């Protein structure tokens, strides 16, 4: 295919050279004449392992070239890929002016391009940018309609400098956000050499995935370092600790605990986090990320409370008391905090939890429940139907399988607040269904 690559920085250069190596006809566009001259002379404008060879081969074979003049580049291509920079402003916000400028140029050129063309955003931009800012610019400049006359994709780049070519050719994640299927099909066709099927999704999801990856990576580095500092101060080798941690692919390096939902609770996580934080404090070790976890978790419970308050309804039915299904351990269950707060604010709360047999609760578990919700016996319902009957708002707080039928029981005017994602399947209309993180 014929591909125009706008921006010959780390991302654009690697992509242009790899596409040319795969046999595509690639023309790079950059406002920097030095980069363009270098590339046309077969020299890589950036230092990246293996790139010099690819650029040199690409230019020699006539598959790779560059220009400062964007005009007519679009007309000669099937796809335009935008790889220009999106740096931070002083206040941390993202500068997307270069991407917008390129969209204006591509849009202007699209006016005179009768053939179907796909515009691909490879630069990192915040969710909603492509739909809210870039497509309108493209449509205005071209006088044509996205999804009809031209296609649009968001194709985040996950390469790391230093291993960029390997990351490009063998990515761990390959995501195509598409305006419509046709756009995604055209883009996917240029990636035939990549040994991984793309995950095809919406433009916004693709934008968000990129930020999630980088936030996750940054968080992992800081987590490892904070743990390492506490370990060292306790006479333990932090690197050995983290190596051991990473060998658990069931709970540690796994999707477990990575699903947006309700706050954590239970008898261990809050207690053990408090204890290790106290030890860090005793040893004068600053661990701001670990120190912020409980606060963030508490804030999440407050979010759930606000969701109930915003409904304007006062009869609340809570499904699930324990912090997860299949246990009667209610110690530090965030649902107890939710219920306690709602009762304190005058809400009429009813509760259903099949696993909590009040008569059988003993010790710390029983004490926690009775302290949090003193008249709990009078609030418990014997069945889901009874609870649904007596409530105007339903709150699903854990994943118990018997809650899956709840959406089917919701009557008109009733609202279901889903804290775990059990009823995401679209059974309920938007006004009646609210998910906490979706």
Using CB under 6 A, list all residues that contact ligand NAD.
Answer: 6-12, 29-32, 35, 83-86, 98, 101-102, 123-124, 157, 159, 161
Our CB check for ligand NAD shows the closer of 145 and 166 to be 166
Our CB check for ligand NAD shows the closer of 135 and 369 to be 135
What is the distance between the alpha carbons of residues 67 and 380, in angstroms, rounded to a whole number?
Answer: 72
Q: Determine the distance from the C-alpha atom of residue 353 to the mean position of all C-alpha atoms in its chain, rounded to a whole number.
A: 32
Bridge partners, residue 117, by sequence: 150
User: What is the smallest separation between the CB atom of 142 and ligand NAD, expressed in angstroms?
Assistant: 17
What is the distance between the alpha carbons of residues 2 and 64, in angstroms, rounded to a whole number?
Answer: 10
Our CB check for ligand NAD shows the closer of 10 and 368 to be 10
User: What is the smallest separation between the CB atom of 240 and ligand NAD, expressed in angstroms?
Assistant: 30
User: What is the smallest separation between the CB atom of 147 and ligand NAD, expressed in angstroms?
Assistant: 24
Closest residue to ligand NAD, judged by C-beta, is 9
- Length of the chain equals 438
Our CB check for ligand NAD shows the closer of 80 and 333 to be 80
First vs last C-alpha separation in the chain: 38
Our CB check for ligand NAD shows the closer of 197 and 214 to be 214
Q: What stretches of 305-390 adopt beta strand conformation (E)?
A: 315-319, 348-352
Our CB check for ligand NAD shows the closer of 103 and 280 to be 103
User: What is the smallest separation between the CB atom of 208 and ligand NAD, expressed in angstroms?
Assistant: 14
Note the helical H segments in 151-202: 164-169, 181-189
H or E segment and range at residue 415: strand 415-418
User: What is the smallest separation between the CB atom of 106 and ligand NAD, expressed in angstroms?
Assistant: 10
What is the distance between the alpha carbons of residues 217 and 244, in angstroms, rounded to a whole number?
Answer: 19
CB 102 within 8 Å of CB 130: no
Q: What is the DSSP string of 189-229?
A: HTTTT-SSPPEEE-HHHHHHHHHHHHHHHHHHHHHHHHHHH
Q: Which residues contact 139 (CB under 8 A, 6 or more apart)?
A: 107, 145, 146
Our CB check for ligand NAD shows the closer of 6 and 433 to be 6
What is the distance between the alpha carbons of residues 73 and 26, in angstroms, rounded to a whole number?
Answer: 10
Is 103 labeled as catalytic in the residue annotation?
A: no
User: What is the smallest separation between the CB atom of 295 and ligand NAD, expressed in angstroms?
Assistant: 30
User: What is the smallest separation between the CB atom of 145 and ligand NAD, expressed in angstroms?
Assistant: 24
Q: Of 153, 213, 246, 268, which is the active-site residue?
A: 268
Query: If we measure between CA atoms, which residue out of 116, 196, 121 comes closest to residue 155?
Result: 121
Our CB check for ligand NAD shows the closer of 161 and 240 to be 161
H or E segment and range at residue 101: helix 97-110
What is the distance between the alpha carbons of residues 92 and 201, in angstroms, rounded to a whole number?
Answer: 28
How many alpha carbons fall within 13 Å on the CB side of residue 146? Answer: 24
CB 145 within 8 Å of CB 115: no
User: What is the smallest separation between the CB atom of 122 and ligand NAD, expressed in angstroms?
Assistant: 6
What is the distance between the alpha carbons of residues 342 and 363, in angstroms, rounded to a whole number?
Answer: 25
Residue 20, phi then psi, degrees to nearest 5: -65, -40
- Active-site residue numbers? 268
């Amino acid at each position: 295919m014929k591909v125009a690559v706008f921006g010959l920085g780390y991302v654009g250069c690697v992509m242009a050279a790899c596409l040319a190596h795969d046999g595509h006809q690639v023309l790079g566009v950059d406002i920097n004449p030095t980069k363009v001259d270098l590339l046309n002379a077969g020299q890589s404008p950036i230092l990246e392992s293996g790139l010099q060879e690819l650029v040199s081969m690409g230019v020699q074979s006539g598959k790779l070239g560059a220009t400062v003049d964007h005009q007519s580049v679009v007309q000669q291509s099937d796809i335009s890929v935008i790889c220009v920079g999106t740096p931070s402003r002083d206040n941390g916000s993202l500068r997307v002016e270069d991407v917008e400028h390129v969209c204006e140029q591509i849009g202007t050129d699209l006016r005179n391009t009768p053939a179907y063309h796909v515009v691909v955003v490879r630069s990192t931009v915040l969710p909603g940018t492509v739909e809210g800012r870039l497509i309108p610019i493209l449509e205005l400049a071209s006088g044509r309609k996205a999804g009809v006359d031209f296609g649009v994709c968001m194709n985040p780049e996950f390469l790391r400098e230093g291993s960029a070519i390997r990351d490009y050719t063998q990515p761990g994640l390959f995501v195509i956000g598409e305006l419509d299927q046709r756009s995604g099909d055209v883009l996917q066709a240029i990636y035939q050499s990549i040994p991984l099927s793309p995950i095809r999704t919406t433009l916004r999801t693709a934008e968000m995935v990129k930020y999630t990856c980088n936030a996750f990576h940054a968080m992992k580095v800081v987590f490892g370092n904070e743990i390492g500092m506490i370990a060292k101060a306790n006479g333990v080798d932090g690197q050995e600790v983290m190596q051991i941690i990473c060998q658990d692919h069931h709970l540690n390096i796994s999707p477990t605990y990575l699903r947006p939902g309700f706050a954590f609770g239970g008898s261990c996580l809050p207690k053990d986090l408090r204890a290790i934080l106290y030890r860090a404090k005793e040893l004068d070790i600053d661990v701001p990320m670990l120190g912020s976890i409980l606060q963030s978790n508490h804030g999440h419970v407050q979010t759930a409370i606000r969701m109930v308050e915003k409904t304007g309804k006062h009869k609340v039915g809570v499904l699930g008391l324990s912090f997860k299904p299949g246990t009667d351990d209610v110690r530090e269950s965030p649902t107890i905090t939710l219920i306690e707060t709602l009762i304190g604010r005058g809400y009429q709360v009813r509760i259903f939890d099949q696993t909590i047999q009040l008569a059988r609760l003993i010790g710390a578990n029983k004490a926690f429940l009775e302290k949090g919700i003193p008249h709990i016996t009078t609030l418990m319902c014997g069945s889901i139907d009874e609870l649904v009957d007596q409530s105007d708002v339903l709150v699903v707080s854990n994943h118990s399988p018997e809650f899956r039928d709840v959406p089917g029981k919701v009557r008109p005017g009733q609202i279901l607040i889903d804290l775990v994602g059990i009823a995401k399947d679209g059974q309920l209309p938007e006004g009646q269904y609210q998910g906490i993180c979706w």
